[in-house]
Amino acid sequence: MSSLPVLSPHRPEAPGRLARAREELGGWRLVDLLAYGAAWAAGLMLTFIALALLAFLAIKGVSFLSLDLITSRPEPGIDQSKTGGILDPIIGTFVMITIGIAVATPLGVGSALWVVEYGKPTWLARAVESAIEVVAGMPSIVIAIFGLALVQEHLFAWFSFTGEGGAVYGRSFVNAGVAMSLIALPLVFGATREALLTVPSHMREASYALGKTQAETIRRVLLPSVRSNIGTGMALGMGRIAGDTAIVVILLGASLRLQPLESADPVTNFFRGTGSTLTSFVYNNSPAGEGNAPDKAYAAGFFLLLIVILLNFAVSAVLKRGEDGPAK
Amino acid sequence: MPTTFPPPVRRITLDRTPTVVDPSVEPIRHTPVDRAHERGDQRERMTIDDLVVKYAGKPAVKGVTLPIRDQEVLALIGPSGCGKSTLLRTLNRLTELTPGATYEGRIALDGQDVRALPVTQLRRKVSMVFQQPNPFPMSIFDNVAYAVKEQSKRAPKKSALMPKVESALRRAGLWDEVASDLDRPALRLSGGQQQRLCIARALAVEPEVMLMDEPCSALDPKSTMVIEELIRELRKSLSVVIVTHNLAQARRVGDHVAFMYLGDLVEYAPAEQLFTDPRAERTREYVSGSFG
């Protein structure tokens, strides 16, 4: 296969963009040119798909989204004009995010610190890394059914509703939240680990050379250094939690309304009860689910998208301020 | 010369950038300064006695004996991989952080074996400045305050730390430039200022000896001059051990100069003598630029 003809050396002064491109690509093999074109096309296509999705959801969603919808509670019913709003799923989504990330962050940051800064014995550190990779690759529905089998044991009865005959229902905010943390954990762990590995060793040595212990070095030097990366990992993890459906359906119960437990403890009743999130609401109200309120499904889907996008903006804004300001 | 030295390690590396050495350049300053060894009144602050440092069994420093005298600057010179940085890092037991590193021989601080001291205490008495300016990602004030705060004590108030922070920044010649904005992130400072901040940080622990591992090699000539001036000033109150690839710098700031080659100490002499009238053939070749 011959190469494309090279432009003549008598080039015009200040060649145009197209001419320059032709000259640059002139010496390429055809295979490379095809691959180059395909790569371009793939990129453009993905951008188009993303924009189309956003536009579709925005047009569909905005037309049904209203203040009334997001501030009123859902009602059971067949006619979608009478089934209320999406307040409960919104609350459910935020509670899921909060519990999940609150559990995942200390675990992820802690294990990353141990693996990178201590990591002895080496085989154990490698085992921890592999284990987290396995968790990262685990479909959330697998996590969910495993979690359900676990929390239906009587040992964990306190965390959810127990039926008259003593059967443990297993579905609650606490149980789903802990399962959700497994989705966010690898992201927090990975971001922290990568960041710690890029902190130059002379930074650690500078602290040791001042007579500081490893613990103090980690607390005062390393953690502030990787703070923004931890934030990024958290934001990614929160996005993943907000978007997960399998765990909500299996471990949260995906009940239309928030259903706090009815026990003597008013504080924990909410967390031991069931609820739904925007994802399960979208599923149940889509033509695939039983609710059959597609308008509300679009509105809820768009709202979910907004939450995730805003979450990312909020985190990057906070991080930016943290980097500029004095470290505390 | 073995190119695999120091051996690659997983986390702790020397982080050295290549240094261009031009030994043919004459020192800029010819007027002899007040050299401590000429006063003849300084005692030995640290002694290094038959020190052998090995990385995974391979010797990097082979039986070096050296005095570190009070109130003088000892400059360690030699080609890359000759063991001078390793020697320096053994003085405050930083080599212990490198997996596989071991050392034999005796290093004493004020007559006491450094291994007998708690390592955190040793490193406050023998503090260190690195090649790359490496301020912590916090404010200027916090960088110095971090050094002042003592382990296992409750964090004192900012006002209580201020005198020590100010005095350290003054000694490092940085106070006038940063006093108005101590809360500024340290990483916003220029390279030369960052390095002086690192010196201030190292001074804040009130050390007896300050180790400097090529402190100017990442800096421009003007910042280098400021730091050299600072080193001469610091010498009045403590001992300085400086590793440098820059022979002119060793001549400018050193009271005594030690030339190392392949882990051996080849020559130890007053600076002027080592550069003008070296006793060993190797030293003559190195300082005249035949190799290195």
**Two tokens at A197?**
């590995």
Confidence of residue B38 (pLDDT cuts 50, 70, 90): low
The answer to whether residue A322 scores a pLDDT higher than 90 is: no
Q: Flag the least confident range among A138-147, A291-300, B204-213.
A: A291-300
Partner-chain contact A202 B147, CB within 8 Å: no
* B36 or B142, which is more confident: B142
Is B96 touching A (CB cutoff 8 A)? Answer: no
A303-314 mean pLDDT: 86
Nearest to B259 by CA among B66, B106, B108, B69: B66
Question: Taking CB atoms and an 8 Å limit, are B198 and A220 in contact across chains?
Answer: no
Averaged pLDDT for residues A220-238? 90
* Length reported for chain B: 292
The verdict on a CB contact (< 8 Å) between B123 and A210 is: yes
Could you tell me the two tokens for A88? Answer: 């409960």
CA distances to A85, A91, A119 from A73, in Å: 5, 10, 50
Domain ranges of chain A: 1-64, 73-324
Chain A residues with beta carbon closer than 8 angstroms to that of B184: 326
Report yes or no: A287 and A294 within 8 Å, Cβ to Cβ.
yes
B91 touches chain A (CB under 8 A): no
- Summarize the confidence of residues A43-58 as an average pLDDT: 92
Option in B183, B201, B211 nearest A210 (CB): B201
CA distances from A241 to A98, A104, A227, A308, B288 (A): 9, 11, 21, 10, 67
For residues A78-102, average pLDDT? 88
Indicate if the alpha-carbon torsion angle A44, A46, A47, A53 is positive or negative: positive
Pick from A5-14, A27-36, B66-75, B94-103: least confident: A5-14
Q: Which residues of B102-117 are buried (b: 16+ CB within 10 A; e: fewer)?
A: ebeeebbbeeeebeeb
- CA of A103 vs chain B CAs: smallest distance (Å): 27
Helix, coil or strand: residue A117? helix
Low-confidence winner among A294-298, B111-115, B161-165, B252-256 (lowest mean pLDDT) = A294-298
A219 vs chain B: nearest CA distance in angstroms? 11
Of A123-132, A176-185, A265-274, B245-254, least confident by mean pLDDT is A265-274
Contacts of B123 in chain A (CB under 8 A): 208-211
- Shortest Cα distance, chain A CAs vs residue B284, angstroms: 33
Indicate the angle between helix axes A87-113 and A294-324, nearest 10 degrees: 40
- Report which DSSP code applies to A155: G
Backbone angles phi, psi at B55, to 5 degrees: -105, 115
Confidence of residue B11 (pLDDT cuts 50, 70, 90): very low
**Which of B146, B151, B183 faces A213 most closely, judged by CB atoms?**
B151
- Domains of chain B by range and CATH? 36-287 (3.40.50.300)
Q: Is the pLDDT of residue A181 over 70?
A: yes
pLDDT-based confidence at residue B35 (cuts at 50, 70, 90): low
CATH topology for A73-324 is MetI-like fold (1.10.3720)
Predicted local distance difference test score (pLDDT) of residue A315? 74
pLDDT score, position A11? 52
pLDDT of residue B128: 94
Compute the Cα dihedral for A21, A26, A31, A32 and give only its sign: negative
Indicate yes or no: CB of A327 within 8 angstroms of CB of B142: yes
Q: Which chain A residues touch B101 with a CB distance below 8 Å?
A: none
Within 10 A of A295 (CB to CB), how many other CB atoms are there? 16
Using DSSP, state whether B74 is helix, strand or coil.
Answer: strand
Average pLDDT on B260-283 reads: 90
Which whole number is the average pLDDT over B56-70?
A: 90
- Residue in B15, B122, B202 nearest the CB of A202: B15
Rounded average pLDDT over A237-257: 90
Distance CA B62, CA B54 (A): 8
Is the pLDDT at A209 greater than 80, yes or no?
yes
Give the model's pLDDT for residue A74.
84
Question: Any CB–CB contact under 8 A between B122 and chain A?
Answer: yes
Q: pLDDT above 70 covers what percent of chain B?
A: 84
Distance from CA of A311 to the nearest CA of B (A): 25
Which of A118, A204, A208 to mutate against chain B (most B CBs within 10 Å)?
Answer: A208
pLDDT at B99 over 80: yes
Closest-CA residue of chain B to A120: B99
In a mutagenesis test of the B interface, which of A210, A228, A320 is the best target, namely the one with the most B β-carbons within 10 Å?
A: A210
- Compute the mean pLDDT over every residue in chain A, rounded to the nearest whole number: 86
Q: What is the mean pLDDT of the segment spanning A153-181?
A: 87
Taking CB atoms within 8 Å and a gap of at least 24, the contacts of B47-51 are B47/B106, B47/B107, B47/B108, B48/B87, B48/B91, B48/B105, B48/B106, B48/B107, B49/B105, B49/B106, B49/B107, B49/B108, B50/B104, B50/B105, B50/B106, B51/B87, B51/B90, B51/B103, B51/B104, B51/B105, B51/B106, B51/B107
Among A123-127, A163-167, B39-43, top mean pLDDT goes to A123-127
Q: Which residues of A touch B199 (CB under 8 A)?
A: none
Nearest neighbour of B134 by CB, restricted to A202, A211, A212: A202
Would you call B120 an interface residue with chain A, using a CB distance cutoff of 8 Å? yes
pLDDT score, position A22: 76
Q: Write the CB contacts of A34 (distance below 8 Å, at least 6 apart in sequence).
A: none
pLDDT over 90, % of chain A? 45
Residue in B138, B148, B150 to test binding to A, most A beta-carbons within 10 Å: B138
pLDDT, average across residues A307-319: 79
- How close does chain B come to A203, measured CA to CA in Å? 6
pLDDT over 90 at A128, yes or no: yes
